[in-house]
Amino acid sequence: MELRSNIPAGPIDKKWDKHRFDIKLVNPANKRKYSVIVVGSGLAGASASATMAELGYNVKCFCYQDSPRRAHSIAAQGGINAAKNYQNDGDSIHRLFYDTIKGGDFRSREENVYRLAQVSVDIIDQCAAQGVPFAREYGGLLANRSFGGAQVSRTFYARGQTGQQLLLGAYQALERQIGLGTVAMHERHEMLELVVIDGRARGIVVRDMVTGKIESHVADAVILATGGYGNVFYLATYAKGCNATAIWRAYKKGAAFANPCFTQIHPTCIPVTGDHQSKLTLMSESLRNDGRIWVPLAKGDRRAPDQIPEAERDYYLERKYPSYGNLAPRDIASRSAKMVCDEGRGVGETGLGVYLDFADAIKRLGEDAIRERYGNLFEMYERITDENPYKVPMRIYPASHYTMGGLWVDYNLMSTIPGLHVAGEANFSDHGANRLGASALMQGLADGYFILPYTIGNFLAQNKIDKIDTSHPAVKEAEQAVADRIKTFLAIKGKRTVDSFHRQLGQIMWEYCGMARNDAGLRKALQLIPALREEFWSNVVVLGENESFNQSLEKAGRVADFLELGELMCLDALERKESCGGHFREESQTSEGEALRDDANYAYVAAWEYAGEKKTPILNKEPLTFENVALAQRSYK
């Protein structure tokens, strides 16, 4: 497989401008002759659908939720970064670019990240014009806050519901187009197969989740904006329905999967309470602006937090990283929490937790100021834990939150299958080995509003695309494969529920491919996962029939794919013997326990190519070159 990144020539700050001038345009009158399928209606999918429809393309958008407004972008709390420099504190496009590259531990593509920083400023303008109710200063100007991994204040926010408000902005733009008849919206439809004809992505097979009907849709280009795969860990901050099926089906049809082991474990989530736990809830990273993270100095100190005197507390992030303190990047904050818990200094019943304490901030600013900033987060915490964080410190622990890995894409966001484009968290492009806070919303909207609408046009204008319909043999074949797979699930009639398999897979992944990984553990996981998969295919029970609303059947398909993806993640983690960002190989650390990169051997994107059932996938490498930043050992000290 050849990985052509199609990076335009020229200096980095001119590449996107040059590319936009060089790319082919589709004449306005011709745009309506082209059709585009968008799978997913989160920030990337909704913004791409709305924008392409505004341009005149025929758009079909699909989502598994009952409404496009419910995609999991909605749950992002803290904010969205943009290099506006409204605060006059030294921000610039170059600084946002640099922070993102460094935050990603030098494992992302410079050119993509630079473009992201460039369009970040347009996103804020667009969203403000749509009526997104961003936080404002008394003078009416947009307000900013700081976020992890940055020393400037560049994060725009709408209380603790920034993702919700940005998504509703994109959703409203999408609904406007639906009302105008330019987008056909298919809710409660799940993509189960990609249709590839003559080497090009030409359509999808979906299941109507209400009636069970298997339908096909064809188009001139397909965009996957289906989010990340962090639910492979079962317990995660993702919505329960988030899944990897769309990108996994595409992988099995020839799209390379890049850096699958790059997953983000978010440091500030509410700890697990019991075996019934179905998901983990994030507490926004913005809390780290005012909350101080600590554990007792002594091992096994079970005293109530207010009984532990100042001198017997270890504010370990402030101690280890004095210049960034509690705002150290996510991977570092998570790993540090794991380390203190492994030392036996964790708090709460399970010992898997650390304190996030607002006592000092309340003393300094008053309870009202804290309520104004974080009121809804404090309420959410109290609802879940029955504890009042204004009085006692929050308890937090890391949880699976984001996946930097995803389908490999070139500069145009096109995968290795021509015509198949990938946007948002589903692609791998911008965050390297670790994503900074408030950058996911930025990337989703950059891809959907400002990048894909250009690059899709270039693809359509350059390629002569034959007209086909759903009677094409390749479409029928894909439909048959979907129907057969569903029949198989229903016919197994085993003794274990789908969820029980998913939980067990999650435990394996968390144990061996979570916050710390090592050779022996990964090899063990690579034996456990195929064995679990085999049991799944012979002992899972899925009741009911295809021809009805059947939530067990939906889950079965998703878990079957996670059982394959989990193995690829472990394989990738085993192959990458360096530590970088969220990928911490215990064999590769500094004397102080920090991640130790190996740029000589691992400065590449690992793009895995499907080789067939029961065959080891093929590793392709896209070398990463850094011409505009100096490769450096990341330091937040």
Partner 1 sequence: MSGHGKAMKLTLHVWRQKNAATKGAFVTYDAPDISPDMSFLEMLDVVNERLILQGEDPISFDHDCREGICGTCGVVVNGQAHGPRGATTACQLHMRSFKDGDVLTIEPWRATAFPVIKDLAVNRKSLDRIIAAGGFISVPTGSAVDGNAVLVPKVKADLAMDAAACIGCGACVAACPNGSAMLFTAAKVSHLGLLPQGQPERSRRVLAMVATMDAEGFGTCTNHGECEAVCPKQIDLGFIARLNRDYLVASLTTRGQEKSSGGSG
Could you give the 3-state DSSP secondary structure of residue 57? coil
Dihedrals φ, ψ of 129, to 5°?
Answer: -65, -30
CB of 441 to partner 1, least distance (A): 14
Cβ-based nearer residue to partner 1, 65 or 264: 65
Residue 374 CB, nearest distance to partner 1 (Å)? 15
Q: With respect to partner 1, which residue has the nearer C-beta, 375 or 530?
A: 375
Token reading at 578: 């360096």
Residue type, 259: N
Polymer length of the chain: 637
Q: How far is the CB of 50 from partner 1 (least distance, A)?
A: 7
Instruction: Supply 442's token pair.
Output: 């930025």
- Nearest CA to 542 out of 528, 530, 529, 560 is that of 560
Residues contacting residue 613 through CB under 8 Å, at least 6 positions apart: none
Q: Report the alpha-carbon distance of residue 35 to residue 47 in Å, rounded.
A: 16
CB of 270 to partner 1, least distance (A): 10
Tell me the closest approach of the beta carbon of residue 189 to partner 1, in angstroms. 13
Q: Least distance (Å) from partner 1 to the CB of residue 364?
A: 22
Residue 446: Cβ within 10 Å count: 28
- Please report the sign of the dihedral spanned by the C-alpha atoms of residue 423, residue 424, residue 425, residue 431: positive
Instruction: Decide if 613 contacts 567 (C-beta within 8 A).
Output: no
> Residue type for 189, please?
H
Residue bearing tokens 């930025």: 442
Q: Give alpha helix (H) positions in 224-358.
A: 245-252, 316-320, 330-342
Q: Give the residue with the Cβ less far from partner 1, 21 or 138.
A: 138
Those residues whose C-beta lies under 8 Å from the C-beta of residue 578, and which sit 6 or more positions away, are 585, 588, 596, 597, 598, 601, 602
Three-class SS state of 399: strand
Nearer to partner 1, 445 or 607 (CB): 445
* Annotated active-site residue in 249, 330, 345, 435: 330
The CB-side HSE value for 345 (13 A sphere, CA atoms) comes to: 20
Amino acid at 7: I
Helix, strand, coil in percent for the chain, rounding step 5:
40, 15, 40
Known catalytic membership, residue 517: no
Q: Toward partner 1, which CB reaches closer, 85 or 588? A: 85
Smallest distance from the beta carbon of 176 to partner 1, in angstroms? 4
Query: Of the two residues 166 and 528, which places its CB atom closer to partner 1 in the complex?
Result: 166
Shortest distance, position 438 Cβ to partner 1, whole Å: 15
Q: How far apart are CA 525 and CA 537, in angstroms?
A: 18
Among residues 165 and 264, whose Cβ is nearest to partner 1?
165
Alpha helix ranges (H) inside 256-408: 316-320, 330-342, 359-365, 367-385
| β-bridge pairing 394-403 and 354-357 | antiparallel
Instruction: Please identify, using beta-carbon distances, which residue of 237 and 259 lies nearer to partner 1.
Output: 237
Q: List residues with catalytic annotation.
A: 330
